[in-house]
Structure 1
């Protein structure tokens, strides 16, 4: 049994999700709760192209002296510092996504009094595709509790929470996601996901059963 890309998009509309690993350039996606991994986007000679990709990035002035900003500048991205974006945020306008960096170790016990939820809510309201980067060198009880509370508080929203350990993971994760969602790479990613889903459907025992029932 085979389906073309348009049929696959219709058959799995709203049932496919995509996440990038911050520590690598692999793409993880789900089809009906089953996870699959796509390899990194490669050049024709097999090299990873993420480090060669350049884009425009709007960075909050609160991060002007942050190591993340220095690392992005060192990779020759076009950086614009702005007071107009939320404090602690980094926006990729060409990809239509934004990241908010939060250090859970710097937060008090009472998250409501710290204004964290209001800050995240305003961030999610402004940016349709938003990611919260929780930065901590290790995840103990406090860090895991904060991540759990945020996930439950914003369940069903467009916010995705990603734990990261250091600035290197922040930069690598942001660039991997931003590249995968920018033109023309997003078109290539859709084609690769469509091919992967076609292979999954063709090798699925459920689809085989449905085909046999229909033929019968």
Structure 2
């Protein structure tokens, strides 16, 4: 008997991409996965925006920055990105085994601590795409509602079957 393979439909979404990334490997990989790519001059350079999930990603390659990266204007670009996008992520693209990459990561973390910027170090294009798609899918409207419902059911199950909760109910 042939093994049954359960196929789940692959998630597809529309992504607004900066025209500066038109020939980037990340954009080609997203297109190959059949996502709808819309290029725009009006979004920040090196940005990916997922409208259905309300997330935005800024792709920065620390290796392409000058020795004194403050002079490159990257901090100002990130500040503007964080101001514009409520749910923002910084994709730091590189191997992160060199001193320069770690210094840049440290400085960005220090400057944006406590803000709505989440930093996601990625080593290659596949990790960047996987990270963006995982976050965007988990925060998109139909999926976030499903996750919220499942978490609510799990919480109710824990409350019903937990001996600690049973003891607390008996003491009240």
TM-score by length of 2: 0.85
Aligned mate of 2:91, from 126, 130, 133: 133
- Cα 1:73–1:193 shift into 2, 3 Å: same
Note the residue ranges of structure 1 that are not aligned, 5 or more in a row. Answer: 1-44
**How far has the Cα of 1:199 moved from its partner?**
6.1
Q: CA deviation at 1:121?
A: 0.4
Aligned to 1:108: 66
Structure 2 residue aligned with 1:215:
171
- Give the 3 Å change call, closer, same or farther, for CA 143–195 of structure 1 in structure 2: farther
The total of aligned residue pairs comes to 167
How do 1:26-105 residues align onto structure 2 when only pairs under 5 Å count? Answer: 52-105=10-63
Name the SS for the 1:185 alignment partner.
helix
The superposition leaves residues 25-79 of structure 1 with CA deviations (integer Å, 9 ceiling, x where unpaired) of: xxxxxxxxxxxxxxxxxxxx76565xx1111110000000001111111111111
SS at match of 1:108: coil
Residue 152 of structure 1 pairs with residue 107 of structure 2: no
Larger radius of gyration: 2
- Listed one character per residue, the Cα deviations across residues 189-213 of structure 1 (whole Å, up to 9, x for unaligned) are 11233344556777596x788x28x
Instruction: Tell me the distance in 2 between the aligned counterparts of 1:111 and 1:164.
Output: 19
User: How far apart are the structure 2 equivalents of 1:65 and 1:204?
Assistant: 58
- What secondary structure sits across from 1:191 in the alignment? helix
Deviation at 1:96, TM superposition (A): 0.6
3-state secondary structure, aligned to 2:113: coil
Query: 2:96, 2:102 within 8 Å by CA — same for their partners in 1?
Result: no
Larger deviation, residues 73-82 vs 140-149: 140-149
- Partners of 2:42 and 2:93 lie apart in 1 by 23
**Residue 111 to residue 204, structure 1, CA distance change in 2 (3 Å):** farther
Please tell me whether the aligned partners of residues 44 and 81 of structure 2 are also in contact (alpha carbons under 8 angstroms). Answer: yes
Which has the larger helix fraction? Answer: 2
Going from structure 1 to structure 2, the CA distance change for 1:107 and 1:204 (only over 3 Å counts) comes to farther
In structure 1, how many angstroms separate the alpha carbons of the residues matched to 2:124 and 2:137? 20
Higher relative contact order (CA 8 A, sep 6+): 1
State the TM-score, normalized to the length of structure 1: 0.69
Unaligned runs of 5+ in 2: none
